[in-house]
Amino acid sequence: MYEMLKGYAKVEGVYGNTDNQEIRSLFPRKKVLKAGKFLIGVVHGDGKNKTTEKRVLDEFEDKPDIIVFGHSHIPYLRFDQGTLLFNPGSATDKRKQPYYSFGILEIEDEIKSKHVFYSNKNE
């Protein structure tokens, strides 16, 4: 998938707990990206002894404007002390969720975020 995507544009990402060594060699565990005046923290969110949301917040000492994470496959969109926490869900593995999903972030003078839900991943 990475090879296909990089044919279209630069690919930014992080690895997660089930990624193989090839992906781990290409991407860091977490990173911070800049989009205009906003900072975006990206992290998978796996770990122990806390909720996924608490773990992703604890990953960044200097809180970015947005933290994009995954791990749980549960769509999530909430602010925590001024930081937007955004989990797009999963386009391929909805687990116990009723729908597949992906997320859209529009970043200009402000941040707009939304989820797109659908029931059949083959459509």
pLDDT surpasses 80 at 76: yes
pLDDT of 33: 97
pLDDT at residue 46 in the model: 95
Question: For 57-86, what is the mean pLDDT?
Answer: 96
Q: Residue 99: is its pLDDT beyond 90?
A: yes
How are beta strands 66-68 and 38-43 bridged, if at all? Answer: parallel
Residue closest to 82 by CA, chosen among 63, 99, 107: 63
List, in order of start, the domains of the chain with CATH numbers.
Answer: 2-118 (3.60.21.10)
With CA atoms as reference, report the closest residue to 19 among 56, 58, 59, 46: 46
Collect all residues with Cβ–Cβ distance below 8 Å to 77 and sequence separation of at least 6: 84, 85, 86, 87, 103, 113, 114, 115
pLDDT bracket for residue 37 (50, 70, 90) = very high
C-alpha dist (Å) from residue 105 to 45, 114, 116: 19, 7, 11
pLDDT at 21 (0 to 100)? 95
pTM as predicted = 0.91
Average pLDDT in the 6-24 region? 93
Is residue 75 classed exposed, middle or buried when 0-12, 13-18 and 19+ CB atoms within 10 A define those classes?
A: buried
Indicate the pLDDT class of residue 116, thresholds 50, 70 and 90: very high
Residue carrying the six token digits 């949301």: 53
Quickly state the pLDDT bin for 110 (edges 50, 70, 90). Answer: very high
User: What's the rounded mean pLDDT across residues 92-106?
Assistant: 94
Structural contact between residues 67 and 83, judged by C-beta atoms closer than 8 angstroms: yes
